[in-house]
Structure formats: structure tokens, C-alpha cells
């Protein structure tokens, strides 16, 4: 084992170092973030995806702590899996972040077994050979931090997810003082959020949306239904403020939205006046012009509040002509079709729909190019490692860094699993770890691989056909009608003719084959004949199986 300092981004699909990042020195390591991702559209049946942290176990590293930058799912969603692999590891986070984590641990019955350590931005934390200085950042969820990690090789600054919001909703701007102080002390390497590196200019402040909401609230004559991310507490606070200004009450629908608002109110991150919130079943006691409904479902997720409303399948609500629906979120790539469908269905039911980017009701939580240059100039690192984003975003971020004066040989654009090593103040690329991420499907973690996915793909495309053929053990003659079971291949009520032909072909094959032929060989012949019939008649290629009974 090398004595070098090692930085290893892991997990994520296209994105690098977002779900998890490991900083290791000798036999000690810390983990920054433990996030999950949702599968892409062609990862059939997969529930979600978590980072592949197997190498930490293989190397028997001593994980000294899990440090969380903020409470979003792509940064904390895999916490229970990671804690099962590294039981007893202390988890560090700000109060709100730990609030989100507690919910997960309780559900997984891990709360009692876990050491949760709440810190305040500005605190310094010790973890083995690392001394971690925390600093406040602004993003699209409150109580975000970045880290200044003092290591035996030097100071590593990790921005976490951020944008420079000078006028955040909670009035708490980024800790420029701390960031600048790091540069005074000398920064070995900066790891910075690349999500919006390809976007020119500056990302607008959250407060710039006040105008957009004001316009919507002024124009709306009926109810206002706002969908946003359940974790976007500052957006929720903004909507509360607009509701108060316009003398409307707020009802909440969607499990995660209800739970998050409850938790954030308890912790003091939301402070709704006593009479602002009303139960969802009481909205009809108020005039439509006095009602705001907060909902989940910005991504068109079929089971979320807004999709159920759009399809007329919501238990407690329905969309009425005159409702105004505000979709205050961006579309996560891959969800475009679902979101378009939801918007069109809402229009169909008579709602007026405001959506991003058509209306000014959402801004990104990530820094654009000019902010990234500001961060580079504030920190003035010797080495630069862009993280959080797809490879194309990291490459652009690297170009921004080069333009900001960092020599190209001091910039490491790497993919998940690639080790960046520092020794004696010099950076080099190390080995590549095997894993990138693991599929979680039901209770299985990492057991679904390419071969199962390939089978699911074939089944999804053309279904399957199974035939059971019963033969006389002595004569080899068919002694019953071949039985056919099929799903996903053809519409059965209209396919009787096709299967009659299939049975004929089976009869032909059985009649032609020698009784001494092995069962395997006979099955192959039957399956080949069926494949031919189905291909010819339908131009489809279902999976075909056969079973032969000898009676």
C-alpha cells in the first residue's frame, strides 16, 4: 500500500464523484457523501443504483467517518447500504442533513446502531489523520456545506453542490471568508461541482423567483397547485411567503412532501404561521381563490401526487378548470416524456400550467461558468479535480480552470474508480478500481448484472413462448395437444390461428424425429421450428422454451 494521499470518485451513472468520494491515506479513509441514483430508462426493472464501495472492503481500509455535504438523495440516499457495509462508522452532517438521514435509518432499523454527529458549518472535525473544516454553502436545500480537508499531504477543498447565492431565501450566504482563508493557507487541490460548467454566466439567486411566483399568484383566480422537489425547503418557504402575501392557505399532498415539511418545521427550518397550513381534506371548505396545494411529482413519476392528479387517479383531489399548476423544478434527463405527458394531461383537464423554462418559476441550484471561475480564483489551488457532472461537464470545467490560470498538467479529469494520488506535493493518476456502481433490485444489491438485463430486454421486446409436449415414452408419439404458455408476444384472443400453426409444426417435428433422439436434441428441434414460424408470421423473436414429458 502506498503512503500517498488517494482521492477516489465512485458511484453515479454518467456523473462522477457525486454519489460518493473517498479520501484515503495509508490505512485510513473518509467517505464524502453516500448517494443513490435512479436507473436510466433501459435499465429494466432496476429500483435504484448505489456506488460500488467493494474496494474499501477488499483493501480493509479503516473508514474513519462519513461526511455528508447536504441532504439530497443523490448525496445521502445510499446511507443505509454503506452503513451495513461499514457498521458503526460515525456519520457527520449538519442538523437538517442528519434530519433526512434519521428518517432513512429509522426505516432500515439502523438508527440505534448508528453514531450520528451533528455539526454546524464552521466546525472542525477530526477523523483519523484528517482534520475536516466545514464551511457554509448555498444550493437548493438549506444547511449545505463544503469541506476543507487537512491531510498529511496538504489541504483539499471540496465544494459540495453549490451556487453562489448572495440573496438566499434563508438569508445565509456562502462563507466567502473561509473559502478565501483556505487560499491564504495554500490549497493542494480543489474538487468543485461541475454540473453547470457548460452554462455561461451566473445562476440566478433563489430570490429572483419571487417575481415569478408573485405574477402567478396575482393572475390565478382559482386554486394554485405547486409541485416541487420535496427536499427543496427554500422553495417551499418561498411558496409559503407568497401564500401569506395573497391570503391563501396551504395544504400538502405526497408522502415525502408531508414528512419533509413536518421534519423541517420541527427543526426550525420552516416557520409557517399557526393558521397557514390546513389538512388536505379541508380545502373544499375554502373558496378556490384561498387555496394553495403543495405537491410532489415534478418528474412525472406515475405514483406521485401530480401524475395522479393529471390522470384523475388522486384519492383526495381532482383538477378543475381554473386551477393553476406550477411545476417549479427542472426535468431530470430521462424524465422528459413523463413530464410532457403530465403537463399535457393537466392542460387537458382544464388547468393552466406554468412550467420551467417557459415561466420564471425555477432556477438551478448549481453554479454556472462564471461562478466556477470565481471559486477557482477564491481557492487558488495548485491542482484541480472537477467532480459532480458527466465527463463532458468535467472537461468543460477543466477548460475553465485552464483559462483561469491552472496549468493543464495540474488538472485531473477522471472517471469514477480512477484513483488520483498525491505524494510529496505532486499529483499522479493511479490505478483504476473495478466497480462503478451496483444495481439495487428488490432486496438484491449487485446481483443483477448484464445477463439478467439482457434477458429482461428480450422479454420486454417480444415476450416469451413456452410449450409443453407430452409424448408416449415408447412410441415417441404425441399423446396430448401441445400446451402453449405465452406472455408479451401477441394479443392472445386474435392469435389462435398462429398457435394452431405452431402446434402443427410441433406435430411435424415430432413425427419426423427418431424416438432414439435425446430429449435435448428434440427440444432444440421444436424450438427452432417455433422460432421459424413466429419469425415468419409476426417478424418478432420471443424467447422460446420447451419441455418434453415422456409418459
The catalytic residue positions are 193, 366
178-237 positions binding its own copies, by CB under 8 A: 198
Q: Does 176 bind its own copies (CB under 8 A)?
A: no
Among positions 241, 470, 513, 515, the unique one binding its own copies when judged by CB under 8 A: 470
User: Which of 396, 383, 228 is CA-nearest to residue 299?
Assistant: 228
Asked if 456 is part of the footprint of its own copies (rule: CB under 8 A), the reply reads yes
Burial of 323 (0-12, 13-18, 19+ CB in 10 A): buried
- Interface stretch with its own copies, choices 48-56, 138-146, 285-293, 342-350 (CB under 8 A): 342-350
71: left (phi over 0), alpha (psi -120 to 50) or beta: alpha
Min dist. Cβ of residue 262 to its own copies (A): 27
The stretch near its own copies (CB under 8 A) out of 175-183, 380-388, 490-498, 512-520 is 490-498
Interface with its own copies by CB under 8 A: which range of 210-218, 274-282, 291-299, 390-398?
A: 390-398
Residue 165, C-beta contacts closer than 8 angstroms, at least 6 positions apart = 138, 173, 174, 205, 206
DSSP string, 436-458: -EEEEETTEES---HHHHHHHHH
Report how far residue 284's alpha carbon sits from residue 288's, in angstroms, rounded to the nearest whole number: 8
How many residues bind its own copies (CB under 8 A)? The answer is: 64
Residue 236 phi, psi (nearest 5): -65, -40
Q: Using CB under 8 A, which of 303, 340, 377, 408 touches its own copies?
A: 340
Q: How many CB atoms lie within 10 A of CB 25?
A: 21
Position 549 contacts its own copies (CB under 8 A):
yes
Cell 457527520, located at residue: 92
Q: Which of 464, 501, 517, 525 binds its own copies (CB under 8 A)?
A: 464
Identify the three-state secondary structure at position 149: strand
The DSSP call for residue 304 is S
Nearer to its own copies among residue 17 and residue 154 (C-beta): 17
Q: Which residue stretch of 79-87, 201-209, 287-295, 543-551 sits at the interface with its own copies (rule: CB under 8 A)?
A: 543-551
Contacts of 528 (CB under 8 A, 6+ apart): none
- Under a CB-based contact definition with an 8 Å cutoff, are residues 84 and 57 in contact? no
Torsion, Cα 486 487 490 491, to 10 degrees, reads 110
The CB-of-361 to its own copies minimum distance in angstroms stands at: 14
Phi, psi of 485 (to 5 degrees): -120, 130
Q: Does 432 bind its own copies (CB under 8 A)?
A: no
**312 binds its own copies per the rule CB under 8 A:** no
CB 142 within 8 A of CB 95: no
Question: Is residue 545 involved in binding its own copies (CB under 8 A)?
Answer: yes
In 3D, which of 540, 529, 534, 489 has the Cα closest to residue 507?
Answer: 529
Work out whether 370 is an interface residue with its own copies (CB under 8 A). Answer: no
Binder to its own copies among 2, 348, 377, 408 (CB under 8 A)? 348
Which of residues 111, 277, 445, 459 is near its own copies by CB under 8 A? 459
* Of the candidate residues 123, 210, 415, 501, the single one contacting its own copies (CB under 8 A): 415
**With CB under 8 A as the contact rule, which of the stretches 275-283, 452-460, 509-517, 524-532 interacts with its own copies?**
452-460
375, 448, 530, 544: which one contacts its own copies (CB under 8 A)? 448
Q: Cell numbers of 55, please?
A: 474496494
Do 422 and 153 form a contact (C-beta atoms < 8 A)? yes
Strand duo 291-295 + 28-32: pairing: unpaired
Cα distances (Å, whole numbers) of residue 377 to 144, 281, 405, 432: 21, 53, 9, 30
Within 392-411, which residues bind its own copies (CB under 8 A)? 392, 395
Beta carbon nearer to its own copies, 31 or 440: 440
Stretch of residues binding its own copies (CB under 8 A), selected from 65-73, 371-379, 426-434, 442-450 = 442-450
Site string for its own copies, 27-66 (x = CB under 8 A): -------------xxx-xx---------------------
Minimum CB separation of residue 494 from its own copies in Å reads 6
Distance separating alpha carbons of residues 427 and 159, to the nearest angstrom: 19
- For its own copies, give the closer residue by CB, 244 or 495: 495
Q: Please report whether residue 496 would count as binding its own copies according to CB under 8 A.
A: no
To its own copies, the closest distance from the beta carbon of 439 in angstroms equals 10
Determine contact, residues 341/300, Cβ cutoff 8 Å: yes
88 part of the interface to its own copies, by CB under 8 A: no
Under rule CB under 8 A, residue 543 binds its own copies: yes
Q: Give the count of beta carbons closer than 10 Å to the beta carbon of residue 81.
A: 20
Q: Is 443 in the site for its own copies (CB under 8 A)?
A: yes
Based on the shown chain and the rule CB under 8 A, indicate whether residue 500 belongs to the binding site for its own copies: no
Residues contributing to the site for its own copies (CB under 8 A): 14, 40-42, 44-45, 198, 333-334, 336-337, 340-341, 343-344, 347-348, 353, 358, 390-392, 395, 415, 441-444, 447-449, 451-452, 455-464, 466, 468, 470, 483, 485, 487-491, 494-495, 537-540, 543, 545, 547, 549, 551
Amino acid at each position: 500500500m502506498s503512503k500517498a494521499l488517494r482521492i477516489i470518485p465512485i458511484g453515479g451513472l454518467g456523473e462522477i464523484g457525486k454519489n460518493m468520494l473517498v479520501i484515503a491515506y495509508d490505512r485510513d479513509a473518509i467517505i464524502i457523501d453516500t448517494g443513490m441514483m435512479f436507473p436510466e430508462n433501459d435499465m429494466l426493472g432496476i429500483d435504484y443504483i448505489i456506488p460500488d464501495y467493494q474496494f474499501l472492503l477488499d483493501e480493509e481500509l479503516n473508514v474513519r467517518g462519513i461526511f455528508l455535504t447536504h441532504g439530497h438523495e443523490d448525496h445521502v440516499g445510499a446511507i443505509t447500504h454503506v452503513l451495513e457495509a461499514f457498521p458503526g462508522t460515525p456519520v457527520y452532517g449538519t442538523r437538517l442533513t442528519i434530519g433526512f438521514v434519521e428518517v432513512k435509518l429509522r426505516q432500515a432499523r439502523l438508527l440505534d446502531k448508528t453514531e450520528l454527529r451533528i455539526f454546524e458549518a464552521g466546525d472542525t472535525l477530526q477523523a483519523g489523520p484528517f482534520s475536516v473544516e466545514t464551511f457554509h454553502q448555498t444550493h437548493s436545500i438549506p444547511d449545505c456545506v463544503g469541506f476543507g480537508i487537512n491531510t498529511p499531504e496538504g489541504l483539499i477543498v471540496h465544494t459540495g453542490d453549490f451556487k453562489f447565492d448572495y440573496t438566499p431565501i434563508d438569508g445565509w450566504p456562502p462563507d466567502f471568508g473561509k473559502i478565501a482563508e483556505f487560499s491564504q493557507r495554500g490549497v493542494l487541490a480543489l474538487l468543485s461541482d461541475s454540473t453547470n460548467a457548460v452554462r455561461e454566466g451566473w445562476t440566478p439567486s433563489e430570490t429572483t423567483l419571487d417575481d415569478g411566483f408573485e405574477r402567478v399568484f396575482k393572475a390565478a383566480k382559482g386554486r394554485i397547485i405547486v409541485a416541487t422537489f420535496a427536499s427543496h425547503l427554500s422553495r417551499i418557504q418561498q411558496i409559503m411567503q407568497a401564500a401569506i402575501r395573497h391570503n391563501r392557505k396551504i395544504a400538502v399532498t405526497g408522502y415525502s412532501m408531508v414528512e419533509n415539511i413536518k421534519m423541517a418545521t420541527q427543526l426550525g427550518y420552516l416557520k409557517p404561521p399557526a393558521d397557514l397550513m390546513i389538512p388536505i381534506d379541508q380545502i373544499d371548505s375554502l373558496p378556490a381563490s384561498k387555496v394553495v396545494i403543495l405537491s410532489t411529482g415534478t418528474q412525472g413519476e406515475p405514483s406521485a401526487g401530480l401524475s395522479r392528479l393529471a390522470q384523475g387517479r388522486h384519492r383526495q383531489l381532482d383538477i378543475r378548470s381554473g386551477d393553476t399548476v406550477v411545476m417549479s423544478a427542472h426535468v431530470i434527463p430521462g424524465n422528459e416524456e413523463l413530464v410532457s405527458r403530465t403537463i399535457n394531461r393537466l392542460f387537458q383537464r382544464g388547468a393552466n400550467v406554468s412550467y420551467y423554462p417557459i415561466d420564471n418559476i425555477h432556477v438551478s441550484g448549481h453554479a454556472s461558468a462564471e461562478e466556477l471561475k470565481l471559486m477557482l480564483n477564491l481557492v487558488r489551488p495548485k491542482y484541480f479535480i472537477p467532480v459532480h457532472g458527466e465527463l463532458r461537464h468535467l472537461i468543460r470545467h477543466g477548460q475553465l480552470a485552464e483559462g483561469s490560470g491552472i496549468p493543464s498538467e495540474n488538472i485531473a479529469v477522471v472517471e469514477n474508480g480512477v484513483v488520483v494520488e498525491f505524494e510529496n506535493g505532486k499529483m499522479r493518476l493511479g490505478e483504476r478500481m473495478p466497480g462503478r456502481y451496483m444495481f439495487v433490485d428488490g432486496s438484491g444489491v449487485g446481483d443483477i448484472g448484464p445477463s439478467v438485463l439482457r434477458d429482461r430486454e428480450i422479454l420486454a421486446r417480444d415476450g416469451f413462448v413456452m410449450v409443453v409436449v407430452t409424448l408416449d415414452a415408447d412410441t415417441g408419439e404425441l399423446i396430448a395437444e401441445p400446451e402453449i404458455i405465452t406472455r408479451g408476444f401477441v394479443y392472445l384472443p386474435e392469435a389462435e390461428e398462429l398457435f394452431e400453426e405452431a402446434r402443427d409444426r410441433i406435430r411435424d417435428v415430432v413425427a419426423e424425429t427418431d424416438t432414439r433422439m435425446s430429449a435435448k436434441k428434440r427440444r432444440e428441434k421444436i424450438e427452432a421450428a417455433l422460432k421459424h414460424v413466429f419469425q415468419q408470421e409476426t417478424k418478432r423473436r420471443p424467447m422460446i422454451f420447451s419441455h418434453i414429458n415422456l409418459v
